[in-house]
Amino acid sequence: MPAEPIKGRGACANPLSRFESLAREAFDDGWERPPDDAVPRTVVYAETSRSIISRNDSPDVPFSQSVNPYRGCEHGCIYCYARPSHGYLGFSSGLDFETRLVAKTNAAEQLRRELGKASYRVAPIALGANTDPYQPIEREWRLTREILAVLADHRHPCTIVTKSSLIERDLDVLSPMASQGLAQAFVSIASLDRSLARTLEPRAASPERRLLTVERLAKAGIPTGVLVAPVIPGLTDAHVERVLAAAREAGATEAGYVFVRLPHEVAPLFEQWLEAHHPLKASRVMGLIRESRGGRDNDPRFGTRMRGTGIFASLLEQRFRKAHRRLGYRDAAVRLETGLFRVPSRDPQLSLF
């Protein structure tokens, strides 16, 4: 069936996970689709996690451990590299990823337990490494705030990446942490084009609203950066310098960028989105992506997966560096404090003395 845009959602379809052994093919029999199918609603499932801190040794990311309070993301960004992870739950990387969400209800309790292990070694914890910790359902579930409360209690450093203005709700926690060198925030902005953002990231805050969030975080004393992510050639790459300039004016002191990544099921979903929303640009955009990925939709190799290769990727890197230097962004990343950490008590009875 031809893909049709769904208002308020990024994906146009719900393809099967790559782990499924059986496949189904949709067939248009002439009957109209029920209203409920046309406007899929968000459903949240509660989960009790046996572990909460994820660790990695990737040379491409500036953190070694992260916490994700949610699986799936209601923001619905069509390019999201985390979409394939929904397949591990038996869900689709398409509409399921943005409508069938999982909340780890014991995240804060489990985090406190893991921080108290004798084997634990302090290193900044990244919130938002996979899905946005401040996606819309956080207003009701408040799991990210509970996690921040644990980190603040034990003076543990953290970084946050978000597209949401909801982070401003937690300034009362983040600002005191930042004054001790324990917190840093990054706001992700791919483009300043509001109409493009509305379909590219349908339930995220508008670009203007995110710039205001940068300003409010910076004024609250929180070291704030901007991520121009992702850079999509032929679609958002023309906005790189403008995003950097606007974020710097708002108070951002650090900046980075990521070339669009299309792993596994994300590539066909993104190509389908292009055909639905930008049919005249679709072939050029995919052509530039493949040119920068060695002829493929995605290049997972360390060292190149975040930046791409080839002429276009090289020119993009030069443009970013020149704008970064001209606008006065920091060259070195903020170093968060790890020496203030207070180990949670392993015996609750000891807290009575």
Residue-level pLDDT at 40:
86
Residues with Cβ < 8 Å from 183, sequence gap 6 or more?
Answer: 157, 158, 159, 160, 174, 177, 222, 223, 336
Interval 153-186: pLDDT, tens: 999 999 999 999 999 999 999 999 999 999 999 9
What average pLDDT does range 212-222 have in this prediction? Answer: 98
In this predicted structure, the answer to whether residue 252 has a pLDDT above a threshold of 80 is: yes
Residue-level pLDDT at 24:
64
Residue-level pLDDT at 195:
96
pTM given for the model: 0.92
Interval 303-334: pLDDT, tens: 999 999 999 999 999 999 999 999 999 998 99
Residue-level pLDDT at 34:
54
In this predicted structure, the answer to whether residue 239 has a pLDDT above a threshold of 50 is: yes
Q: How confident is the model at residue 347 (pLDDT cuts 50, 70, 90)?
A: low
Q: How confident is the model at residue 1 (pLDDT cuts 50, 70, 90)?
A: very low
Q: Domain coordinates of the chain in residue numbers?
A: 41-332
In this predicted structure, the answer to whether residue 37 has a pLDDT above a threshold of 60 is: no
Residue-level pLDDT at 21:
67
Q: How confident is the model at residue 18 (pLDDT cuts 50, 70, 90)?
A: confident
pLDDT mean across residues, the chain: 93
Give 296's strand partners: none
Establish whether the linkage from the previous residue to 230 is cis, with ω within 30° of 0.
Answer: yes
- The alpha carbon dihedral of 26, 32, 38, 43 has a sign of negative
In this predicted structure, the answer to whether residue 265 has a pLDDT above a threshold of 80 is: yes
What average pLDDT does range 47-76 have in this prediction? Answer: 95
Interval 117-163: pLDDT, tens: 999 999 999 998 999 999 999 999 999 999 999 999 999 999 999 99
Q: For residue 118, how many other CB atoms are within 10 A of its CB?
A: 6
CATH 3.20.20.210 fits 41-332, yes or no: no
* Strand ranges of the sheet holding 70-71, from the earlier edge strand across to the other edge: 43-47, 100-104, 70-71
In this predicted structure, the answer to whether residue 20 has a pLDDT above a threshold of 90 is: no
Q: Is residue 125 a contact partner of residue 157, using CB atoms and an 8 Å limit?
A: yes
At 229 the three-state DSSP class reads: strand
Residue-level pLDDT at 27:
62
Q: How confident is the model at residue 203 (pLDDT cuts 50, 70, 90)?
A: very high
Measured CA angle at 307 (ends 227, 244), to 5 deg: 30
In this predicted structure, the answer to whether residue 39 has a pLDDT above a threshold of 80 is: no
Q: What is the dihedral of CA 237, 166, 97, 68, to 10 degrees?
A: 100
For the record, the structure tokens of 315 come out as 């020119």
Interval 83-108: pLDDT, tens: 999 999 999 999 999 999 999 999 99
Residue-level pLDDT at 188:
98
